[in-house]
Amino acid sequence: MKRFFLLSLAAAAVLVSCDRTAKTHSDVLTFGLKGDVKEVRYSLLAVSNSLDEDQGDPWLEQDELLLSFDEQGRVTRDDYGNIYAYDADGDFNGPYAEYTEVVRDASGRLKSFDNTAIPEEDFDDFDLMSYCSVTYDYDAQGRVATETYSGWEWGTTTNYTYEGNNIWPSKATLSSYDEGLNESTEVTYKYLEFDAKGNWTLREVTTVTESYEEGFEDQKETYTSVTHEYHTISYWSD
């Protein structure tokens, strides 16, 4: 009888453990990171471009908040500036919750953020910078394979390529449109520095972009740029 009771407790413990696993969301991998990341801040340094423009201050961005996560690994700010908040059941209750839908797959991974269902009567007061839809599709290793970001008459689809088991991409191809301007972009990443947790802190980004106005496909322009992107990462265990 005692042995049966202990076995029952063990089985219950396994069930509880599995249930906790099922309800635990870690969005860190979605954004090419690992560990108990709390915040990611970034800086962007212009190295060169083919437009021969005077760069002035080469720091295009400095110490900007890029990403944040709660202690359960759920995203609270994505790299598009969308803010996420959750109720006691883990459901989204962030800004514009009444017309925002956040979808997760069976594994708890973030699949989409969409607030484009705003009612017509509220649209005039809505910040167009906040009007967007983001979707994520994953590869067999749980890394983002395709990311689609769109808003009012603009959008970008990004396809990522990875080397081996790396969780950060080696290349990306982007297809973008913005009110008649079409762009196709090839991006190559070279990783230069990492922190003690194994996340990159400095990478070189080489971008080649081809653009044209709708109806003027024969007048395509190509430009290139090289930037250095810095990450400053804090962790909940710090």
Measure Cα distances from 61 to 2, 47, 136, 217, 230 in Å: 65, 13, 26, 32, 10
The predicted pLDDT at position 116 comes to 83
pLDDT confidence tier of residue 25, bands split at 50, 70 and 90 = low
Residue 63 tokens, joined:
């110490």
* Residue that wins the pLDDT comparison between 226 and 123: 226
Does the pLDDT value for residue 88 go beyond 80? yes
pLDDT confidence of residue 220: 80
pLDDT of residue 20: 34
Q: What span, in angstroms and rounded, lies between the C-alpha atoms of 134 and 110?
A: 10
30: pLDDT strictly greater than 50: yes
User: How much is the pLDDT for 152?
Assistant: 79
Specify whether the CB–CB gap between 136 and 111 falls below 8 A.
yes
Least confident of 80-84, 95-99, 108-112: 95-99
Each residue of 46-77: pLDDT tens digit?
999 988 766 678 999 999 999 999 999 999 99
Task: Assign 134 a pLDDT band (cuts: 50, 70, 90).
Answer: very high
Q: Is the pLDDT of residue 210 over 70?
A: yes
pLDDT at residue number 17 = 32
Q: Euclidean distance between the first and final Cα of the chain, in Å?
A: 47
Average pLDDT of span 108-115: 94
Give the pTM.
0.84
- Residue 116 phi/psi, 5-degree rounding, is -85, 5
Go through 170-184 and write b for each residue having 16 or more CB atoms within 10 A of its CB, e for each that does not: eebebebeeeeebbe
Q: What is the pLDDT of residues 161-174, one digit of tens each?
A: 999 999 999 999 99
Contact 104, 113 (CB under 8 A): no
Q: How confident is the model at residue 126 (pLDDT cuts 50, 70, 90)?
A: low
- Contact between 135 and 122 under an 8 Å Cβ cutoff? The reply is no
